Structure 1
């Protein structure tokens, strides 16, 4: 019985710590070329949003609880990132802001410490473009020049233009800074907008913004949204803003003229269509799900973008439900205890009945010792069940540590 449970636990742990991550990526290949004319290799871009590396500013947690939260959040993203990059091998990666949860709060030494965690999760083996989010530098007039400059010194310009294959163009606009009133903070984003507005458009353009663009109130995000709230509403608060204002959104769309828009910040998937230039042009916006298990959604995700000869082709991908994995482990632990208890109590009952059958005065034994027999039966069963659990754990727990450290 113990050997069977050991193998069951090894199998379930292997599934929960490795196979579900691999299968999640395997089930989401690069989108197919739009037509058979795409004979050359396309350029492939991986889009990651809101990793928000969990830290002391994330939750009201301290000590061991904070350490466990940080550990499992980092492990989930590191494991997901490794599976995605190894299987998909993107040419570029874009992280659409909110790199750290408390990035804007840390002093320089604390920021350096969190950078170590960030780069341990997201290695720099593939060319990566980093965007700023409100958790990185703040928003509106909450942006401090030193924090903004520190982010740019570490991650590079937060607004930029990049060429993709087949004359397509990727435009990154730091919409977070556009909410600020200081010219020194807004100027880089405005300069990129002016540059792209005066550049002849050849292929398609894709716009990257951390804050989603404005849409009418209660505009549906489509059926693939995870949260019960089916739309992104406009809201303001301390260092956050859910949507860009209407006028700024229209100005960005008219200057960039994108076919596709990708945004972050909301943590859940959303798909909406924008009209601009007096409704003559359309842009399809995808809000990329958070990459983290710790940001309020059960189903994290990412997106793929393929630049083909004919067009830019997006693909939504989902990551495993980590809470569901933990629930599966808890359910298996309960089943292990219950079935082990039932197995032992059944075995002891059978043995005692066999012994009683050998006695001549069975009725007398039952009358005198029935209470003691029941008590000793339960006690013996509990001891045997605990012994089984210990023997299973002696194999399952080291294997779990192996999975955490090496898979």
Structure 2
């Protein structure tokens, strides 16, 4: 018959406690948190039918996240890199498995050092990105460009832009259409309005896309009659959902509220045009050209809801990285050609994970202390009995 000593039992308890804390914090914690999230429902009265006679609840399910900032070889500490990438990978893979989005958008700043990384380091960053954000063929992944991917306006060049576009197999300014829903992807880094070659090329593409979308709307309103200069139009006749890295112009985050808003001490800091937000001119041009029914942006690392000109809602999506926030989150969007509904899915807080590890550490120390006191008591009892035995 096997006999277990007190030390063996304590060792087994210590291993179980440490393994349990590690397994919970590094794997299990994402499941109950993401299970609380759900796809928002569309109003049938407003949403009506989708394309092909689909009911409103057959809407496109889109997951939107931003600012992953995969650390590079220059400024990223190996442990920080390992920790943050594991967290994002587990959160993303768990969300895919539980929520099953049809399309995922990442709103720029995929990499932290794309603006200066060498080709070797770039290839390593890309390899790690594809591993972390792997997905099945049932899910489409669409990536937008940010200033950390190709540099700010004064740093970007054709080499870095084309390197980014080649990796993600698409131009940085385009329209993606999904079951009658138009997603307008904007390279907002190039919207300085000056004569830089990339800026001119992006603006030319945007003007063409605006003309094509407006032609589609005009055709639908004229009962299919041919509209002048609209022969090449091919998009569904619905206002687009505009996605970009930089937010449209706003003075500050002073009006932003919610648990993912910027800290109170930062909300009143004034934003710099063409650095923190787009310029007033670029913002107005985009609104006039496209009249989007919804704008989704990143860059600030904090959440915010803004209504431009009293009719164009914009949602700033917080950073997906725990390096930038204690409480990362992403957007769940249910979308039809005539309606949209959004909800926010918060991920486990870093402070909760640290608290669990600290509690487990305290439990280990208490267990060791109790064992030591118990062993000390046994030793004193043994010495006492031995002394009595000798005195007899």
Residues 246-266 of structure 1 deviation map (CA, whole Å, 9 limit, x = unaligned): 121111112111121111111
Alignment partner of 1:11 is 2:11 = no
Per the alignment, residue 76 of structure 1 pairs with 87
Question: Does the CA-based 8 Å contact 2:105-2:143 persist in structure 1?
Answer: yes
Q: List alignment gaps of at least 5 residues for structure 1.
A: 60-65, 276-280, 362-407
The answer for the alignment partner of 2:97 in structure 1 is 86
Q: Which residue of 1 aligns with 2:42?
A: 33
CA contact (8 A) 1:57 1:101 kept: no
Structure 1 window deviating more from structure 2 (208-217 vs 218-227): it is: 218-227
- Displacement of 1:337 in angstroms is 1.4
Q: 1:100 to 1:180 in 2, by over 3 A?
A: farther
RMSD: 2.8
Is the Cα contact below 8 Å between 1:260 and 1:284 reproduced in 2?
A: yes
Q: Distance in 1 between matches of 2:320 and 2:368?
A: 39
Give the number of aligned pairs.
Answer: 348
Which of 139, 142, 145 lines up with 1:132 in the alignment? 145
Q: Partners of 1:69 and 1:254 in 2: how far apart?
A: 43
> In structure 2, the residue corresponding to 1:17 is in which secondary structure?
helix
Aligned match of 2:364: 336
State the SS of the aligned residue for 2:15.
helix
Residue number in structure 2 paired with 1:258: 292
Gaps of 5+ in 2: 1-9, 49-54, 218-236
**Residue 220 of structure 1 aligns to a residue in which SS?**
coil
Contact 2:72 2:117 in 1 (8 A): no
1:284-307 residue CA offsets vs partner (Å, 9 max, x unmatched) = 21111111122x211112111111
TM-score by length of 1: 0.77
Tell me the TM-score normalised to structure 2 length: 0.80
5 Å-filtered alignment, 1:6-405, equals 6-35=15-44, 38-59=55-76, 66-123=77-134, 125=136, 126-155=139-168, 156-165=170-179, 167-179=180-192, 181-198=194-211, 199-200=213-214, 201=217, 202-229=237-264, 231=267, 233-235=269-271, 241-275=275-309, 281-294=310-323, 296-308=324-336, 310-322=338-350, 324-349=352-377, 352-353=380-381, 356=384
- CA shift in 2, pair 1:226/1:344, >3 Å: farther
